Amino acid sequence: MSLTVVGSVAFDALETPFGKRDKILGGAATHFSLSSSFYTNVNAVGVVGSDFGDEEWAVFKRHTINTDDIEIVENGKTFFWRGRYDYDMNTAHTLDTQLNVFETFNPKLSENSKNARLLFLANILPMLQKQVREQCENAEFVAMDTMNFWISSMKDAVIETVKVVDCVIINDAEARQLADVPNVITAAKKILEMGPKAVVIKRGEYGAALFTEKSYFAIPAYPLESVFDPTGAGDTFAGGFMGYLASQEKIDEDAMRRAMIFGSVMASFNVEKFGTERVDALTHDEINQRFADFKRFTHFEEIPFERATSAG
Ligand code: AMP
């Protein structure tokens, strides 16, 4: 069981209504690999500059994430993103993006990364996602993310990548934009028609939904009262989802439904502190406890339907 992720490794500057940080570890591949490392062996593929220090590498090492394919560019600077959230924590406001070494990122996959059973293409240039997918020809299950920037500037290239993956994991606004329809259910159906067998739509604090050709499975988000910093929640969700699938022998609809819950559980931890702080310090016991709580409070069987219907 193994999983490869390709994406950004970054320094983030973050501001939320509850505090700020000037320079902390971030990036889609970072959040994804930390989250998935609780379930499987992970290979991270990315690029950093020589300013990426021992403290940052230590986070990857603590979770035995394989960093052999994170290239270090001497005298280069690591990708930098500055974002702000207001009380609506579902919307990130990008204040600054400095691509630095990420601008010429050309993912180089070792044989080990190429041979992973599962592959996640985090949000990078769609042509690069497709190239990486083609290098991992034996991958059993491939998922991708993307973002509004690529959909508005090169939608055709995004669709070419969508055609060659098994699963698309995006947020509701991106789904509408990609399918060019206002209704999110119709959008999911249209994305399925492009080729993948599953589409996962993330809806921030409102949960997430899984669409396949035959079914629709929606779950709420874990009901948290203390959302501190939502940065990386989407990638942490994807990490829990893909990591859990990597730990399963059979990747079918049932496994994907359970993976949705593990994705939500991991994302719920991520938002409790800044950046990677919470997931870095997480334990398996905490995950199992929250998974059990999640199952308990979503028990539809316990709703007394007969009382509702007898009133009429
Ligand atoms: P998420 O909140 O899950 O959408 O992802 C947040 C992470 O994405 C942050 O840690 C950023 O470093 C990273 N990020 C922001 N903008 C970009 C971009 N244009 N390309 C790749 N990664 C990005």
Nearest CA to ligand 1 atom 9: 27
For the chain, helix, strand, coil in percent to 5 are 40, 25, 35
Averaged over 267-279, what is the pLDDT?
96
For all residues of the chain together, what is the average pLDDT?
94
Which own/partner pairs from 97-100 qualify as long-range (CB within 8 Å, at least 24 positions apart)? Answer: 100/49, 100/76
Which of 123, 149, 268 for a ligand 1 pocket mutation test, highest count of atoms within 8 Å of Cβ? 123
Q: What is the DSSP letter of 119?
A: E
* Cα–ligand 1 centroid distance for 27 (angstroms): 5
Q: How far apart are CA 115 and CA 103, in angstroms?
A: 26
Give the β-pairing of 118-121 and 93-98.
unpaired
pLDDT score at 302: 66
Averaged over 158-170, what is the pLDDT?
98
Q: Choose among 289, 293, 282: nearest CA to 35.
A: 282
Phi, psi of 310 (to 5 degrees): -70, -20
The model's pLDDT over 41-84, given as tens digits with 9 standing for 90+, comes to: 999 999 999 999 999 999 999 999 999 999 999 999 999 999 99
Ligand 1 contacts (CB < 6 A) are 8, 10, 12, 26-28, 81, 97, 123, 231-235
Measured from the Cα of 237, ligand 1's closest atom is 3
pLDDT score at 306: 64
Query: Which stretches does DSSP call E strand in the chain?
Result: 2-6, 10-16, 19-26, 41-49, 66-73, 79-84, 93-98, 118-121, 141-144, 167-171, 198-202, 208-212, 216-219
Averaged over 11-23, what is the pLDDT?
95
Q: How far apart are CA 175 and CA 191, in angstroms?
A: 8
Measured from the Cα of 235, ligand 1's closest atom is 3
Q: Choose among 13, 7, 16, 60: nearest CA to 279.
A: 60
The model's pLDDT over 196-249, given as tens digits with 9 standing for 90+, comes to: 999 999 998 889 999 999 899 999 999 898 889 999 999 999 999 999 999 999
Nearest CA to ligand 1 atom 6: 232
* Cα–ligand 1 centroid distance for 82 (angstroms): 9
